[in-house]
Amino acid sequence: MSEQLRVYHIQNPPNEPRWYVVASPAEGIRKIEELAAVDLKNRDIWGNVFGLCVLEDGEWSEWYDNEGDNIDDWAEKNEVTRDHDA
């Protein structure tokens, strides 16, 4: 069974997050970039927070790859954007 992943998106923290189910870290970073682009066009959004969570033992926790990189570091190392997959 593959791991269950979801992106969190918080606009104007400390508001509650919105959650988006994704199939892979690459899809997660594309979703994050899509949401960030929309936020940049909205003058009512003054800040945002994004991340990727994984379901482990019934609990959601921050996703890290086998080298200990979070989604931002992983995307940078793998040059993943909306136009590229790792």
Domain chopping of the chain, boundaries: 5-25+41-78
In this prediction, residue 81 carries a pLDDT of 62
> Furthest-apart CA pair in the chain: how many Å?
42
- Please give the Cα distance from 18 to 52 (Å, whole number): 12
Encoded tokens for 81: 């954007």
pTM for this prediction: 0.85
Q: What are the pLDDT digits (tens) for 10-47?
A: 999 999 999 999 999 999 999 999 999 999 999 999 99
Map residue 83 onto helix, strand or coil: coil
